[in-house]
Amino acid sequence: MPAATESDLAGKRQSIANIVANVVSDATPFTSMQEKRERPKQVLHTWQVKSYPVTGHRGVLDNKDAALFQSNPRKEVQMRGQKTWYNPAVSDFADEDEIVGIKGGSEMAEQIADAITAVAFQVEKRCLSNEDTKIDDGVKTGNETRGVFQYITPTAQALYPIDAAFRTPAAQVYAGTLANFTQGQFESMCQSSYKQRKGPFKMHAFLGVELKAAFTNFAFYQPNVNNLTPIGQFLQEAKSKKMIKAIDNLVMDTGEVDLHITSFLYTDPDTGADTAFTHKSGIVVDMNMCGLAYTRKPRVIRKPYDGGGQKAIVDAIFLNMFDNVLGALAMTIQA
C-alpha cells in the first residue's frame, strides 16, 4: 500500500472553531438618544405645540384704556403607536443539539437574543423612516407610527396633519443631489432653523455614511469665490503620524451640531432593506423635541411547549414623538 495521504483518510474528526462571527453592528443611535416618555394611555396619543406670539413694539399712549386683547393659541399633534415583533422558533431536535460558538450551547437562547436585537432595529428603522402614521384596517394594514422624514416636511401629512403654522419650512428641507449639497447650502438651512428657534440651540445630526463624508469634506475643500481670499487651514500633528479625516462636531453661528453616523435611515418598510436614500440622507434635530413612548417595552413571551419545539414572541408597542418640528432639518437625497 502507498503512503496514506490526508485527502484519503477516513474518520477525520470535524474541526469547527468555537466562534460565530457577525459583522453587523447592533448600534441604534437615534432611539438610544431619544428621551423615553410616559406610557401612552391608548393607541392614539396627543400633545400640544405653540410658539411665542410675534408682536409690534410701539409705545402705549398715556391715559389710554386697554381696548384690544389677545391670546396665544395652541395646536394639537396626534400620533398612533404601533406594534412590532420578531418571533423565533426552533424544532425539538434542533433545541437539543449542542452548538459550538454559542454561550450555553442553546439554539433557542441564541435565537431569542437575535430577536431582541431585530426588534430594536425595527424600532430604529421605523423612527428614522419616511413612512407616515396609519390606522389598523383589520385586513392588511396595522397601526403604524410616523417616521422622522414624514414629520420634517413642509407639506401636510395625509393623516393627522401638523398644523400649517407649525410645519417645517421648505427652506430647511434639501432634496437635491449629494454633489450639490454644499457647506453654503447647509448654512442656509441652519439660518432658517435659527429664525424659527430664535436661538442657537444644540442640535444632533443623524447622517447616512455618504452624507457624513460630505460633511467631513466641508473642512477639507473650499469653494472658489471671486474677490475673496481663502483663510482655511489644514493642520496635522506630525509626531502622531496620523491623518485624521472626520468631522463629528460643528460649532456655527446658528448653534452647535453633533454629527452621528447611522445605517437605518429611510429603509424599505416591507423588507427593511436599504433604499437609494439610506446612505445619502440625514436629519438634524433638537433631541429635546424627540421622544420614544413605549406602550409596551420590548419583552420575550415563551409559547407553551406542544411537542414540536420551542417558540417565543419578542415584541414591543411604541410611538415615535416629535414635539415641535419648526426647527428641524432634513436632507432627502437619493443620487
Cα–Cα–Cα angle for 45, 49, 52, rounded to 5 degrees:
170
- For residue 277, count other CB atoms closer than 10 A to its CB: 20
Q: What is the pLDDT of residue 260?
A: 95
Given a cut of 70, whether residue 154 has pLDDT beyond it is yes
In the chain, the amino acid numbered 243 is M
Residue 124 falls inside a structural domain: yes
- Rounded Cα distance, 295 and 319, in Å: 8
Environment class of 232 (CB within 10 Å of its CB; exposed 0-12, middle 13-18, buried 19+): exposed
Residue 277 falls inside a structural domain: yes
Residue 41 falls inside a structural domain: yes
Q: What is the mean pLDDT of residues 30-54?
A: 94
Residue 140 falls inside a structural domain: yes
Q: Is 334 left (phi over 0), alpha (psi -120 to 50) or beta?
A: alpha
Residues 107, 43 contacting (CB under 8 angstroms):
no
Residue 227 falls inside a structural domain: no
Q: What is the pLDDT of residue 238?
A: 65
Using DSSP bridges, classify how beta strands 173-174 and 329-331 pair: parallel, antiparallel or unpaired: parallel
Residue 264 falls inside a structural domain: yes
Q: What is the mean pLDDT of residues 31-45?
A: 95
What confidence tens digit (pLDDT) does each residue in 270-319 have? 999 999 999 999 999 999 999 999 999 999 999 999 999 999 999 999 99
- Rounded Cα distance, 281 and 275, in Å: 10
Q: Which three cell numbers stand for residue 238?
A: 506630525
Q: What is the pLDDT of residue 153?
A: 97
Residue 7 falls inside a structural domain: no
Environment class of 198 (CB within 10 Å of its CB; exposed 0-12, middle 13-18, buried 19+): exposed
Q: Which three cell numbers stand for residue 96?
A: 437539543
Sequence-distant (6+) residues with CB within 8 A of 232 are: 219, 222
Show the domain range for 204: 29-48+75-222+237-331
Q: What is the mean pLDDT of residues 142-155?
A: 98
Q: What is the pLDDT of residue 239?
A: 72
The domain tally of the chain equals 1
Q: Which residue did the predictor score with more confidence, 241 or 325?
A: 325
Q: Which of 317, 326, 325, 321 is nearest to 36 (CA)?
A: 321
Residue 57 falls inside a structural domain: no
Given a cut of 70, whether residue 229 has pLDDT beyond it is no
Q: What is the pLDDT of residue 1?
A: 60
Read off the CATH number of the domain in which 284 is found: 3.90.1690
Q: Which of 209, 230, 225, 226 is nearest to 333 (CA)?
A: 209
Q: What is the pLDDT of residue 256?
A: 94
pTM above 0.75, yes or no: yes
Q: What is the pLDDT of residue 19?
A: 61
Q: Which of 199, 197, 171 is nearest to 186 (CA)?
A: 171
Given a cut of 90, whether residue 225 has pLDDT beyond it is no
Q: Which three cell numbers stand for residue 59?
A: 409705545
Using the 8-state DSSP alphabet, how is residue 128 labeled?
T
